Amino acid sequence: MSGIFASMLDGLLIGSIYGLAAMGLSLIWGVMNVINLTHGAMIALGMFGTYLLYSALTTSPYLLLLPIIGGGLILGIVVYWIAIHWVIGRPMLMSLLSTFAINMMIIGTGTALWSTSPYNVNFSLPGLTIGEYTFTGNHIAAASAAVVIALALQLFLSKTRPGKAIRAVTDNREAAELMGISSTTVLALAFGMGIALAAASGALVSTLFPFTILSGAVYQLKSFVVTVLAGLGKPFGALVAGMLLGLLEGVVTPFIAVSWIPLIEFALFVVVLVAFPKGIFGKAAS
Amino acid sequence: MILKRPFFWLILVISGLFVYLPLRGHDVPLREDLVLVAIAIILASNLNLMIGYTGYVNFGHIVFYGLGGYIGFYLTSERGWNLALAALAAGVAVSLFALLFGLGILRLRGAYFALATIGILEAVRAFVANFNPWGRSTGMYLSFEAYKVLGGAQRALWTDYYFIIFVMALSLILSLRIKISKFGLGLFAIRENEDAAAVLGVNTTVYKAVVYSVSAFLPAVAGVLMFYKNGMIDPFVAFEFMLSLEGIVMLMLGGQGSVTGAALGAGMYERLRSTLLTSPKLSDFHLVIAGGLLLIVVLFAPGGLIGWLYRLVPRSQKVIE
């Protein structure tokens, strides 16, 4: 019985990282109605960024989160000006395709640089033993970091002026502009932050599992599932939904083969989309 | 009347060339190049029915091709069915599957629909990767008996090639036929404004489900023929998300909503990809180049090649559908 408990707890820890990745996707969707298909590539860049920095500096990879987040923010703003700004307000297909084009270019360059063979960040913190089960220190540290970043984002959105501007633009872009908010700056900032979150979640994953340049795709798909569970455009709900997804994985792992999990997740995804298009936490009307 | 359209005859001539050129010198390498182009054209023109005609972005179009491939593979290899019969059965089965799912997910619009199609693709792939009779994640190999029925591997591959070209011609004719029909007009109305279309008496639910189902049929048949030719199948080649997205790139390149655009984009992209992949210097960068090309098209020429041609020579719309 305690085996399930341990597995659930482990799922919860991993789930907070799914949640972090999904928060970025959700933020971008909420502010500018763009489904960011570069997300997987950015998660992968976060992994490789951590790998490269760690190889060069050999400090704790959790300290390296700061430069990774900063780099993600800048990269996101650059990508916004290259590929997003011009398709805002055009049909959905256009932003899907322009972000997908950036995704192809990043994955292509990454494959050329690092091939598709696995890398790993060779770092481990002492674990925590409860009874007969040991939780690795990295899992605990990564999950804590994810929660801290998520709380920081929530504080930023609710307390600071730029954060409030982002929320205003999310609610109603025209009205926000009439109140003197430069929506272009806000969109660029929000996109940058979304990418920074993706990179940060990639950095955290890289301390847990080996990864390749293509690994981001798995987490991008999980982010879709999580974002849809939470309701598109609800960043904090995404963290909770991420943990729920992790918990679900933890609950079923002891009973069925791991290879069945994607089927459960994606079937759930489609069902939730059709039955609750506003997410399970979503309010009925808007 | 479709017979009065010059474009109809153009389709027949081009398909004829696809058959004649490799046959003339029994040129197998040329046949192998053309078969990839033909498959790309089949996938892109059927995808065009959803994206270009109806305005619904289907990210998981490849699921029809993969499922068709699996069903056909199972029927020809394990059950000893005739290839044509297996292809037909797979097409019908996949179309029914699409109709069923279409009625569910086509209530969603825009991005929500696009996401649901990704969900279906991934769910089906995960199911097949765990499905015992279909060899789970290692897939299946074709039993050699399946080729013997058609007179040995060599002759079977040529017969299979003619089938594929036939399906390519059917895909183009189907696109043209729908474009000039009342059904097609209803789809265009849905694309422009779904609510207005519904008010004006287009039964949008039925139209969308039918076109989703129709767009599944020929890709499923193509899947049967292609995997029969390859002699092996596994969940990762059959349900490749990248291939699904590349179909959209082809459409954008050529010009969505146009029959020629879909075919031209498919042909060009496929040739470009083959050239890049086989070139020793550029093979690593084929994704970068394809991505850059897509970005340029999206930002500067959203009508694709055909949109550009229509603007340049407006009269060309009469001949090039």
Going from the N-terminus, what domains does chain A have, and what CATH number goes with each? 2-275 (1.10.3470)
The verdict on B191 touching A (C-beta cutoff 8 Å) is no
Distance from CA of A229 to the nearest CA of B (A): 12
For residue A147, pLDDT beyond 80: yes
Q: Which residues of A touch B252 (CB under 8 A)?
A: 97
Instruction: ipTM value, please give it.
Output: 0.85
With beta carbons less than 8 A apart as the criterion, state whether A259 and B130 touch. Answer: yes
Q: Where are the alpha helices (DSSP H) in chain A?
A: 2-32, 39-57, 65-79, 92-114, 137-159, 161-171, 173-178, 183-206, 216-230, 235-252, 261-275
Average pLDDT over residues B87-108: 91
Q: What is the pLDDT of residue A2?
A: 67
Question: Which residues partner with A129 through β-bridges?
Answer: A134
The verdict on A284 touching B (C-beta cutoff 8 Å) is no
Q: Which residue has the tokens 């292509």?
A: A108
What pLDDT band is residue A281 in, cutting at 50, 70 and 90?
low
Q: Taking CA atoms, what residue in A is nearest to B301?
A: A94
pLDDT digits over B220-264, tens only?
A: 999 999 998 888 888 888 888 888 888 888 998 888 888 888 999
Q: Which residue has the tokens 């719309």?
A: B317
pLDDT digits over B32-41, tens only?
A: 888 999 999 9
Coil, helix or strand at residue A119: strand
**Across the interface, do B111 and A86 touch by the CB < 8 Å criterion?**
no
Quote helix, strand, coil % in chain B, to nearest 5. Answer: 80, 0, 20
Element (H, E) at A126: none
The verdict on A109 touching B (C-beta cutoff 8 Å) is yes
**Across the interface, do A104 and B122 touch by the CB < 8 Å criterion?**
no
Reference A65, options A145, A141, A120, A9; nearest CA is A145
pLDDT digits over B170-204, tens only?
A: 999 999 999 989 999 999 999 988 899 989 888 88
3-state secondary structure B192-242: HCHHHHHHCCCCHHHHHHHHHHHHHHHHHHHHHHHHHHHCEECHHHHCCHH
Q: What is the DSSP string of B151-165?
A: THHHHHHHHHHHHHH
End-to-end CA distance of chain B: 14
The verdict on A156 touching B (C-beta cutoff 8 Å) is no
With beta carbons less than 8 A apart as the criterion, state whether A32 and A190 touch. Answer: yes
Q: Taking CA atoms, what residue in A is nearest to B56?
A: A93
Q: Which residues of A touch B281 (CB under 8 A)?
A: none
- CA torsion B183-B186-B190-B192 (nearest 10°) is 120
Q: Taking CA atoms, what residue in B is nearest to A88?
A: B299
Lowest mean per-residue pLDDT among B140-154, B200-214, B307-321:
B140-154
> Which of B287, B289, B293, B300 best probes binding to A when mutated, by most A CB atoms within 10 angstroms?
B287
The verdict on B287 touching A (C-beta cutoff 8 Å) is yes
Q: Which residue has the tokens 């029959």?
A: B259
Q: What is the DSSP string of A26-55?
A: HHHHHHH----TTHHHHHHHHHHHHHHHHH
Going from the N-terminus, what domains does chain B have, and what CATH number goes with each? 2-318 (1.10.3470)
What pLDDT band is residue A285 in, cutting at 50, 70 and 90?
very low
